[in-house]
Structure 1
Amino acid sequence: MTPVEIDQALERILPRVTKPGRYTGGELNQVVKEWDSVGYRVAMAFPDIYDIGMSNLGWMIHYDIINKHRNLLAERVFCPWDDMEAALRAGGIPLFSLETKRPIRDFDMLAMTLPYEQLFTNALNLLDLAGLPVRSADRDASFPLVVAGGHACYNPEPMAPFIDVFVIGEGEEVLLEIIGTMRATAHLDRHTQLRHVAGITGCYVPRFYDVAYHPDGTVAAITPNVPEAPPRVLKAIVPVLPPPVTNFIVPFVETVHNRAPIEIMRGCTRGCRFCHAGMVTRPVRQRPVAEVLAAMEAIIAQTGYEEIALMSLSSSDYTHVLELTEQVGARFGHLGLNLSLPSLRIETVSTQLMDNLGDHRRTGFTLAPEAATERMRNIINKYVTDEQLLETAREIYRRDWRTIKLYFMIGHPQEEMADVEAIVDLARRVLAEGRRFHNNKAAVNVGVSTFIPKPHTPFQWEPMGQLDDVRAKISYLSREFKRPGLKLRWNDPDESAFEGILTRGDRRLAEVVERAWRKGAKFDAWYDHFRQDAWYEAMAEEGLDPTFYTHRKRPIDELFPWEHIDVAVTRRFLTQDYLMSGRQETRVDCRHHCFACGILPKLKELRRETAPEAWECPPVTRVGERKKSIELPVI
């Protein structure tokens, strides 16, 4: 169908579907270019509904970077909700871009963001709705190149047969390199094009790797089958954070986050052993205060957002956080902005920081102790004393915040019931601090998640907690939190186990993903859509045991399905840290002491090209000039 035909069909369909604004485009700050005026066209896909995808910062960054190039074009596509999908299929209408209503089949590249594993079936559904074969082997050079990136791609194996190229790591520069390579090889067949792409740092082309298994189902070997494919795919990073997005598209419908995010820091130096993001996003890079302030000026002028989120894995660890919040107050305080720092560490939330935030609208204040006993905090390497938490809570309540949110994790195999009971005790003590200042208006909201041992973390060798045990702990907590001022929310243990299967899966699991999708599984992150029966039926049909992935302790020398993916943190470091957890030994912040995780030697050449203030790591010799911008590769 042509864009005109799709537009005409939408006039008939949209009055009959939920939230038609999801499918119209036309918002403030969308980018529309003449189709024939550019040399390469990218459909930027987020495989969930518009309401979710429009709040994803990584997706926004790549849309912005591509459209800043005169000869490139990026347009948006999301998964339609059930009613819209039914209308599209009934009318034979292919999935289309929001900006120009072009069929996705007409683009040169389909670039998908996969931040979490529950999007895998959505990704297949999106390919199918776009009229593309779901398997890479069935797509030749006449189809768009299918590229995927995001945190769920650090173990790409469960999606290996469906994706042409995985971007491992940060995509700001790599995506442009792929585009340059594809333009230069446009006259070649797809297999040959991919051999060229496989030589780009951070690019994993699954078809160029063979996987062998032991009789017990564990991985025996992962071997490249073409010379261009490296034995281990080293992640890509940008040595200096690119300019922040400022011309955010302003949605027509309510999205999950009604705010403009600015990434002030990337990476983390804390070393929490359960934290996938903290391990894979090393090293730490920080954005200068002046750049953040300039971005805020531009965002306010170009979007009208009333909330700015200063984003990082640990915003209070940002070296210049006090200076930044002081200057934000001085420059923007009269506007009544809501300034949020969504991720704060208890031990780095100072009274001065709270005072700097004091003139902004007070909603909730979120802290994540993760564990309520000293023993468990030592195991997970997130040590903070109860007194530090209570003192921080006291100062928060003193400054007129009335609700504190606390996040905890349960289900670690070394956890005991006493560790769970301590969550209740600690929450009550925090509430008591609040009532000193606000009486019965004080509140403590507790969120409890189930431990999932993620790839590339020190806990990748650990099993998940037994489901019956986790359910018993949640049942206990829900009884104990039925008191005024306390509220409990928790993750469904079955959904956590499902995530554990996918995040730790090998390539055999791809057959399960496709089977589950063909049985109707999609929107697996949505409680009312999660088809657990379809998934376990698919696993049984493939002869796979779910507990093999979730509840099996790995020996130290086991080869993981993601062993060929190199996040620049060495296996030696992760092994050492895992063994330390069993002894309840901790590591300090690696800004104060380097533990040789592997980042510096593996990225030393890149480090030498970067100004010393850009990385929160020990300096190296021959530091070059700071990169000014990201350039399109010359081809």
Structure 2
Amino acid sequence: MNLSIFQKPSRYINHEINIIHKEAPVKVALVFPDIYEIGMSHLGLRILYKIINDIPYAAAERVFAPWNDFRNYLKANSLPLSSLESKRPLKDFDIIGFSLQYELSYTTVLDILNLGNIPFKTEERLSLNYPLVIAGGPCTVNPLPLSPFIDAFLIGDGEEAILEITNTYNRWKKEGDGRKESLLKKLSEIEGIYIPLFQNENLLSNNNPVSFFVKRRFVKSLDSAPYPDNPIVPYTAIVHDRVNIEVSRGCSMGCRFCQAGMIYRPVRERSPRQVLKLAENSLKNTGYEEVSFTSLSAGDYSCLIEVLREFNKRYSGKNIALSLPSLRIAAVNREILHEIRTVKKTGFTIAPEAGTDRLRRVINKDFSEEEYEKSLSLLFEEGWLNLKLYFMIGLPTETDEDIDGISRMAYKALKIARKNSRRPVNINIGISPFIPKPHTPFQWHGQEQIEEIIRKKRLIENALSKKSFNIKSHNVHMSFLEAAFSRGDEKMSKLIEKAWLLGCRLDGWTENFDFQKWQNAMESTGIDAGYYASKKYSLDNNLPWDFIDTGISKNFLIKEYNRALYEKITPDCKKHCHNCGLGCHIKNIENKDSSIISESTGVAFSRAHVFNPVKIRVEFSKTGVLKYLSHLELIFVIHRAIRRAGIKLDYSKGFNPKPEISFGPPLGVGISGLSEYFDMKVFPPFDLYDNKDKLNLCLPEGININQMSPVPLDSQSLNSFISCYEYRISGGDILSMKDFLDKKEIVTKREKYVINLRAMVESAIIGEDNYVTLILKDLNEGKVRIGEILPIIFNTPFEKLSITRTGLYGWDNKWIKPSNISHVPLFECKV
């Protein structure tokens, strides 16, 4: 398959760094119903990948939703969707596990099943020929909209439950009666498992009480739970392209709109020693240049400042950046900012959520305007230039005065930035409609009507200057459907299936989302999504999702809803237990062992006490499936391999240090290269042969270092020196090439110049099997663009040609390879 015809072909390459190829009796497909960049950013998938592959009798492989072009190719050629690791068709797995993170992925779940030639409904899959289909993730706290399509839902944390699920499947496969119903019966005995086939008929209506409960699973200790410190390093730039260390799980702040803050209780903190050990191993195994300490509320991790200090102490001089996710206003302090900014200032995100003190009391977001101003002043004084502010609209009890408060807060941030920053500041404003989620104090409160949300959004957009702010508003119709699915029952499954039949998939992407199709599906099925999105329940109603026991009592949620209506703050439960129902002990929430034994990872490399850098020219090849890497992807692959190999690069000076590494002319996607080059500045002593071997061990199959040689520090850059290119090409029309060569002039118009393409062709030699060796050279009027010239030479579409670049040359009284310029001995470096 020629992957270069697809957008971002690196999504479909199957041997990233740290990938696991394994054969085992129980084959599990971990399916993320979104594209590769989103799925590979999800920590839960990485955790399950490690856990399952650590089981001797089980193997986990990854499956992602293909983007439109690849999907259409599969459909047009009747090819099944398959896994990345082994290219095994989805239908041939034993277990398919969906991760449900976002309600608008529901049509994509169906699309993936369809691409895998797997029937949608559980009843249709009872035959042994089909895999067990399970699902987990935060959306499962209301599993009803997808319940006809999923054999078993796992509610809650998966680290322990996935071991029980795979063990149960393995025993059933070896010892069971072969009936899928028997397997489902065994699975139903696992805590946290909901089996719709057995239990849907017992569900409640508004008049009938719940006849059974499914209790949420949660791990009691993060330190004892498995965590990947050797994660896969994607070739494609993903959303969270860094080392992510989960420092805690759960949140004690009690924001009343936040489902995650409720369903991930209680707070569990990872010990600082383990946090630092995981960071150390992950950096060593990946070559990443940034670490993020993540949680729902990272600023409330009780050992945060100690961990930040120790991390910076260990990695001083090694150019590893630190970042934190969104921080609460009260968590922003100078000490934290100072530690984060040590290497570079990553973007900073703050979520005020509401525009006035009154409405923040309603949603239990406890900070004042004065605290907001103080935190922003600190931020800009410490030199931050990029700020994101997130707000919600349509919150319960919201008025236009609260909406006006959003623009006032935005302009206040701009005023503080101009006062405290010596450089221009980028302020991004995010606006999202409020979505009433199950198992929160606002679950009884319906979403505002679409027209009202649009009106409020326009009020904000009209009040904010587009010159001063970058405003990004979430699609209102997407939020409407998200609310409907969050609060829906099993009837919504018919709407999901109809929308899929009408072409809906990857609905979280604006390029794909088509609300008219959803309206057509509503009209066809008679199911009104607006009923579910905006329905207001009375506090004594039975709710469709009541049978899911998250551990948070309904009485607590009712109490919090009433406190919201009276604008009363409920303090952080670390300070006082509010009897939410979990019965956790306050003393167990914070990690009391904040002591950290400093374990040196080696003497930090400091430029002040070593030789000046030298320039090393590296010749390498890029072949096989890695020819589908883009130039930018190739740069990241090599830079991270250099880090893993322990080669000390020089870095630029300034606010955002960059590695001193530069590449020759880019190879196009889908083109192999046998003699490519990059320059890197390193510090002596530097053993050329030893470091060549080290680097090759850290590179993926398909990229190989041919040789290293020192060149003068002031030598021409590769892009300046190289002006002649040798290619080996097959698949073109030879007669057309001969016709091209017979002409003296073939002109094309570029942006500023008219260029004679014939003059770029130095020579063309036809070899065995009609391979052509073509030598091209740059002209004063412009550089060679093979995507432009080759289709004209061969009268063949570019994607039909097989192209390998076999040589690069520069002029030094004659054409020479870049590696053949005058060398300098490494010992001639000044101190």
**Fold conserved between structures, TM > 0.5:** yes
Q: Which residue does 2:221 correspond to in 1?
A: 240
Q: Classify 1:401/1:269 alpha carbon distance in 2 versus 1 (closer, same or farther; 3 Å).
A: same
Give CA deviations for 1:270-313 in whole Å, capped at 9, x if unaligned.
Answer: 00000000000000101111111111111111111111111100
Q: Which residue does 1:26 correspond to in 2?
A: 15
Look up the SS of the partner of 1:560 in the other structure.
coil
Look up the SS of the partner of 2:427 in the other structure.
strand
Q: Structure 1 counterpart of 2:315, which letter?
A: F
1:73 maps to 2:59: yes
Partners of 1:178 and 1:331 in 2: how far apart?
A: 40
Q: In the alignment, is the contact (CA less than 8 A) between 1:286 and 1:614 conserved in 2? A: no
Q: In the alignment, is the contact (CA less than 8 A) between 1:146 and 1:164 conserved in 2? A: yes
Look up the SS of the partner of 1:290 in the other structure.
helix
Partners of 2:160 and 2:52 in 1: how far apart?
A: 10
Q: Which residue does 2:295 correspond to in 1?
A: 312
Q: In the alignment, is the contact (CA less than 8 A) between 1:127 and 1:133 conserved in 2? A: yes
Q: In the alignment, is the contact (CA less than 8 A) between 1:405 and 1:447 conserved in 2? A: yes
- Select the residue among 92, 108, 113 that pairs with 1:127: 113
Partners of 1:557 and 1:279 in 2: how far apart?
A: 20
TM-score computed with the length of structure 2 as normaliser: 0.69
Partners of 1:433 and 1:306 in 2: how far apart?
A: 31
Partners of 1:273 and 1:413 in 2: how far apart?
A: 10
Moved more, 482-491 or 351-360: 482-491
- Select the residue among 347, 359, 363 that pairs with 1:380: 363
- Select the residue among 587, 590, 593 that pairs with 2:573: 590
1:205 maps to 2:183: no
Q: Structure 2 counterpart of 1:22, which letter?
A: R
- Select the residue among 53, 76, 101 that pairs with 1:90: 76
Matches within 5 A, 1:524-563: 524-563=507-546
Q: Which residue does 1:301 correspond to in 2?
A: 284
Q: In the alignment, is the contact (CA less than 8 A) between 1:370 and 1:407 conserved in 2? A: yes
Post-superposition shift, 1:219? 4.0
- Select the residue among 144, 161, 165 that pairs with 2:131: 144
Give CA deviations for 1:443-474 in whole Å, capped at 9, x if unaligned.
Answer: 32211111100000000010112222211111
Q: Which residue does 1:64 correspond to in 2?
A: 50
Q: Which residue does 1:434 correspond to in 2?
A: 417
Partners of 2:203 and 2:55 in 1: how far apart?
A: 45
Q: Classify 1:144/1:118 alpha carbon distance in 2 versus 1 (closer, same or farther; 3 Å).
A: same
Q: Number of aligned pairs?
A: 586
Q: Structure 2 counterpart of 1:21, which letter?
A: S
Q: In the alignment, is the contact (CA less than 8 A) between 2:159 and 2:226 conserved in 1? A: no
Q: Structure 2 counterpart of 1:203, which letter?
A: I
Give CA deviations for 1:170-219 in whole Å, capped at 9, x if unaligned.
Answer: 111111101111122222311111111111111011111235899xxx64
Q: In the alignment, is the contact (CA less than 8 A) between 2:321 and 2:340 conserved in 1? A: no
Q: Structure 2 counterpart of 1:69, which letter?
A: I
1:158 maps to 2:148: no
Post-superposition shift, 1:364? 2.1
Q: In the alignment, is the contact (CA less than 8 A) between 2:393 and 2:432 conserved in 1? A: yes
Q: In the alignment, is the contact (CA less than 8 A) between 1:212 and 1:222 conserved in 2? A: no
Matches within 5 A, 1:137-286: 137-140=123-126, 141-186=128-173, 187-188=176-177, 189-211=179-201, 219-221=206-208, 231-241=212-222, 242-286=225-269
Moved more, 469-478 or 388-397: 469-478
Moved more, 63-72 or 41-50: 63-72
Partners of 1:481 and 1:428 in 2: how far apart?
A: 8
Matches within 5 A, 1:470-619: 470-482=453-465, 484-600=467-583, 615-616=589-590
Partners of 2:210 and 2:185 in 1: how far apart?
A: 15
Partners of 2:370 and 2:488 in 1: how far apart?
A: 40
Q: Classify 1:150/1:222 alpha carbon distance in 2 versus 1 (closer, same or farther; 3 Å).
A: farther
TM-score computed with the length of structure 1 as normaliser: 0.89
Q: Which residue does 2:326 correspond to in 1?
A: 343
Partners of 1:617 and 1:210 in 2: how far apart?
A: 41
Matches within 5 A, 1:31-50: 31-33=20-22, 35=23, 38-50=24-36
Matches within 5 A, 1:394-473: 394-439=377-422, 441-473=424-456
Post-superposition shift, 1:326? 0.5
Indicate the RMSD between aligned Cα atoms, in angstroms: 1.9
Q: Structure 2 counterpart of 1:585, which letter?
A: K
- Select the residue among 101, 113, 133 that pairs with 2:87: 101
Give CA deviations for 1:7-65 in whole Å, capped at 9, x if unaligned.
Answer: xxxx3x524222222122111100001x2xx2311111111111211111111110111
Q: Structure 2 counterpart of 1:566, which letter?
A: D
Post-superposition shift, 1:236? 0.5
Partners of 1:546 and 1:142 in 2: how far apart?
A: 35
Q: In the alignment, is the contact (CA less than 8 A) between 2:323 and 2:346 conserved in 1? A: no
Q: Which residue does 1:8 correspond to in 2?
A: none
Q: Classify 1:335/1:221 alpha carbon distance in 2 versus 1 (closer, same or farther; 3 Å).
A: farther
Moved more, 589-598 or 427-436: 427-436
Give CA deviations for 1:300-348 in whole Å, capped at 9, x if unaligned.
Answer: 1111111111110000000000101001110113111121111211112
Post-superposition shift, 1:613? 7.0
Give CA deviations for 1:121-150 in whole Å, capped at 9, x if unaligned.
Answer: 101111111111111111123321111001
Q: Which has the higher helix share?
A: 1
Partners of 1:169 and 1:457 in 2: how far apart?
A: 16
